[in-house]
Structure 1
Amino acid sequence: MDLEDLKKRLYKKDGQFADRPKSPEEFSVGQSYVPTGEEGSAKQWQEPAPKKFEWTAKKKKLVWLSAAGLLAVAVCVAVGFYLWNRHSFDKTNVALNIYGQERIVSGEETTYVVRYKNNTKVVLKNAKLDFLFSEQSFPEDKESLTRQGNAYLASQTIGEVASGQEGQAEFKTRVLGDKDSQQKFWAKLSYQPANISSDFFNEASFESTIISVPLVINFDLPDRLVAGQTLNFSLKYLNTSDVSFSDLVLKIDYPADFIFDTALPSPAEGKNLWRLSEIGSREEGRILIKGAIGGKEGENKVFKAQIGIGRDDEFIPYAQAVSSPQLAISPLAVEQSLADEDKAVADLGQVLNYKLKYRNTTSETIGPATISVKINSQAVNINTITAPAGFFSSNNNTITWNTASLPELESLAPRQEGEVLFSLQLKDKLPVSDFADKNFTVLTTAQIDCFDVPLALVGTQLRGENKFEVKINSRLALKTKGLFNDSLLPNSGPLPPRVGQKTTYTIYWQVLNISNDLSNVSVEAYLPSYVSWQGKTYPGEEDIKYDAGSGKVVWNIGRLSAGVGVLLPVKQVAWQVGFTPSISQVGNTATIVKEARITGDDTFTGEIITSSVNALASEMPDDPGVGFAKGVVQN
C-alpha cells in the first residue's frame, strides 16, 4: 500500500484497519515482532538478535573530532603554562644578605659585606645596589657618597646578573655612638628581570650594638665651689684603644653663672670649643680652664663636656662627662647685677647702672672691710664712670670703697648686708680693627676682703669675689638709597615725573654689621600702590622677593658676619621700581619706598637686633642729578 492509499484509509469516516495486530501479553525491551502462519495473522514476541558494531563514516568523524579537541586542549594548557612561566617571576629566589659584626667598639673601623645571588632562571638586568649607613656612621670616601636624611648612602651599578651568578660589596665605616646604642644598616638590590618589563627590589637590614666607647673624658673639679672666687679646673681626655682618632671636636657647656677667663690651649671657637686634629693610641691630653662661678649657696653647678665629630654644621657626640659640684659661700660675699635690666645684655651707647650687694655670711663680726670693682672693657667710656661714696682710678680702671668713704665697712655684724652703686656708659662706636675684634663684653670683677681675721675664722680665706659679664649687642645698620641716574640698572621715563607716565628708579639697600655674627637677617619694606615692581635685581643670586598682593619687598640675607661694612665690603642689593603719578600728586614729591626695617638674631648675645630707616621720596637725595626740583610731580 502506497502512501496515498494509507492516508485515505486513515482519514476515512469509520475507517478501520482489519489486520491491526494485538499487543502481546508480555513485552521485553529489545523484543521484535515476528508474524507466523500462512496469513501472518498469528504473531509472537521473540528475543532480539545481537547487534553488530558498524564502523560508519559518521562515527569515524566523531572520534577524530574528539581526539583533535583533546589535543587542542592539551596544547593550550602547555602553551599557557609556558607563557605563565615565562612571564612570572618570584623575587624570593633572589638572595640579599648583610654580614658584619653584631658587637662593635665605638669609633673603630668596621666592614659590612653585602652579598647577593640570582637563584632564578632569569637574567637580572640593570641591577643596582644601595647601602644606607647608620646615622652615626662616618664611612670612608664620604665625598663619593650622597646624603639621605642624616645618613650616608652608597650606590653601586652592577648591570646584569646571570642565572646562578652571585657577588658582594664591602663598605667600611667608623660608627660613633653611646654604649648599648643600636646602629642599623640597610641594603637594597633593585633590578629588572629579563622576561618582564616590571622593576623589582629586595631589601635587607643589619644591626650592630656598640659595646664600648674607647674615648674617655673626665672633669677635675672639686666637690664644692666657692661663689665669686677664681676657679681653676681641667678636663682630661684619654684614648684607650689601639687606633688613633682624627678631626675631633671637644666642647664644654658651662653653668649659667660661670665667667670664662682663659684656657690652655685656647679655644678654637668662642670660649668653649676645641678642635683636636688627632688623638693617638693610648694618648691622653688635658685642657686647663680659668674662670669664676657665681650663684646661691647650695646650688649645684652643672659642667658638661662632649667629644665627637662635627658634620655639616651638626655635632655628633662620641663620649661625654658631667660634673655638678655644689656651691658654697665665702665668709665675705659680694654679688653684682644690673639695677634696671633683667638680662646682662646691652646696646652701644647705653648707660648701665650696677648694684653691688655685700654680706657677712658668718656668725662672727668682721671688719674693717674693703670693696673694689675692676672694670675691663674696650667698650666702656671711662669718662662716664661714677660711683657714689667710691673712688675711681683711671690708672687701673678700679672703683674702691673703704671705711673712709663708706663707714658701714668698719664693722660687719654677723649676717649683715649692704649695697653700693656705680654706673658707666658704653661707647657709641666699637674699636674694630681686625677680625678678632668681635663679641665685646663688659667684665667687672668685684672683691670684698678684710685683713683682720677673727679668731674663730683663723685659717679661713675671708675674701669674696664675683665676676659679672655684660654682653654687647652688635649694631646692625641699614641704608636705603635711590637713584635715577644709575649704570647698574639704567632707568627711563620723564624727570621730573609726570602724571600718567612711568619713571623708573633704582633702589639700593646697604647693610652694615659691626661686632657679632648674625643669623636670619632680613630686610623688608612696602611699596605704595602707585609704585610698581619692575622685576630687575642685582646681584641676581640675592634672595629678594616681591608680594604683589601686599606690596611687600623682602630681602632674605641669612647669615651676616661680624665686620661687614667695616672690615668687609658693605652687603647690598639693587632693585628697580616704576612710579606712575596721578593728578592728585601734582606739585608734591611722592614716597617711593616706605620705611624699611632690618632684623637679625645675634648669635653671641641671643638677642633679636633691629634697625629701621625712613621712607625714600621721589627727590632721591643720594642722586645729585635729581634733587627736590626734579622730584616734584608735574602735570
Structure 2
Amino acid sequence: MKIRKKLKAWHLMPLSILALISLAIFVWFGRGDFSTKEVKVSIDGPTQVENGQLETFFAVIKNNSGKALLDVNLFIEIPSAFSLDNKDGGPESSIARIGAGEEYRVEFSLVASSDKSKENIRIRADYSPEGVSARFVSVATAEVIIGKLDVSMIFDLPNSIYSQQEVRGTIHIVPNSDIDTSPIYLKLNFPENFKLQDTNQDFDYETVWKLGNLREGDNIKREFLGIPQGSESSYSFNIQLGKLEGVTFLPLNSVEKIVEVSKSPIFLSQQVEGPPDNMIQAGDKIVIRVSYTNKSEQALEDVVVSAMISRDLIDTSSITASGATIDRNTGIIQWDKNTISNLRFVDIDEGGEFLASFNVKDNLVPANVNDTEKVVTIETKIKSQEDDLSLGGTILQADNKLTISITTDLKLDQDVVSVGQGEYVVHWGLSNTLNKAKSVQVEAVLPAYVKWIGDVAPSNENIQFISSSNTVIWNVGSVDVGMGSIFSPREAEFKIGLSGSDGSDILEQTKLTGIDEFTGAFLEQDIGQVNR
C-alpha cells in the first residue's frame, strides 16, 4: 500500500503567491487605460454665504476619459450647520451613465445656521468605467466662509454710569435683506446683579423675544430698563440674534456693550484695540485705548493720566504712546498738561482718549509645569492735581485695571517619509507652550488614490481611519504645558500607500484644532497639501 505524503503549509506558498500575482495582473489589465485623473469632481457655488440666506450649489462630475462612467453614486456630505434642499432628491443621487466627454451637474441649495466662521462641504462619487469591473472613487471638498445674518443690530446703552444709576437700553433690528431662516429670536443677556425693571414688550421665553420672519425694510425695536445692584466696576450686556433648536438657543449674530460704573465723577476706561479677537500670543503687538470723561459738576484742572504695565512678559523697549512720557524701567506711561495741553482744563462732560502699544516677548516658554496661565496687567489712574472745595469732598480721581491673558502656542509638526514601494510614513509631533490645551484633534484628508495601511505607533495613541470620508483622525484629548520644551513632543505616526499613479498629492490637508483651557481661545493650525 502506498503512503501519501502529507502536504506542509510551506508547500502551498508558491501557489498562493502565483494566485495573488494573477489577480493583480487581472485587475491591472481590467482597468485598461482608464485613470481617475480624467474624472473631475468639483463643487460649483459661492465661497462665502450669509447665515439665513438660501444659496445654490452644484455638484459637478466632468468625465474627460474615453470611457463612459456607469452606475455612478454621488454623495453630498454637509455639516449639520447647513440645511439641505436638493432639487433632485436627498443627499444621495444615482446616475446610470455619464458618457465620455460629458458633464453631469446636480443642483442643491443650502441655508447656513452656524455660529462658526467656516464649514466644509464634501462630495464623493464612485463609479465603474465601461468595460472595467473595478470601481473607482473621486472626492472634492469646498470650504465655505459663513458670514453673519445680513442684519444691522443697533444696541444703544450709556457708556458709563454712577453707582445705582438707572440704565435704559434700546435695541434696533434692521434686516438689510430678506432672511430665509425662520423664525428668528432675539435674546437679551445681562449680569445676574442687574435688576431688570421693565421692557416695552414681554419676553416670549426666558429673556428671549420671538421676532418671526425678518424682511428687508423691517425696523424692530425693543427697550428695557433696570438698575445695577452690585459693586462691580463694569457690567457686560449682550444681545444675540439666533434660532431655537429644541430649548437650546443657537446664536448667529451678537453685539456686546460694556457699561462702566464708577464711584467717582471722573470716568476712566481702557480696552484692547488689537490684535483682533483679543487672542494674544507671544510676540504679538498689543494696542490699548485709554479713555476718560469728566462727569462731575465742576471743571477739572491740571489732570494727570498714567498707565503702569507689568514688565515681566513684555519687551519694555517696544512701549510707545503719543504725547506721553515713558519710563521703560518701571513700565509707566504718563500724560499730563506738559505733554497734552487739553489736560490743563477739562470741562464738564468733556473727555479724551490716548493710544499706547507694546510687544509681548517672543518665545515664551514655561520654566516648569507650574509656570503657566500668564497675564499682562495694565493699571491706569486719573487725578486732578487741583482740589476744589466746592465739590464737597467728592473724589477727584479714578483708577482702572485691565488684565490680558496670554494664549498658548499649540503647534503640529508634520513629516512625510517615503519607505519605498509606494508607501509613506506620516509622522506627527505636537508641542504646547504656556497653558494646558483640551479637545485637541488632528485630522488629515487623504486623496482618493491613497489607501490606509495603518501600523500606528505608539499603539496606545487613538488614531482612527474613517473610510467613508478617507480621513485620518488623531483624537489627542489634553496636551500638557511645556510639551516640546519641558517634555518631549507628543508623537504619533502611521503608514499610507498609493493605490494608483493618479495625482501628485499624498495628503490633501492636515488640520490641528484645540481649546486653550485658560483663555478659552479656539486654537487652529492648517497645513496644506503634501506632494510626493
What TM-score, normalized by structure 1, do the two folds share?
0.42
Greater CA radius of gyration, 1 or 2?
A: 1
Normalized per residue, which structure has more strand?
Answer: 2
TM score, norm. by length of structure 2: 0.50
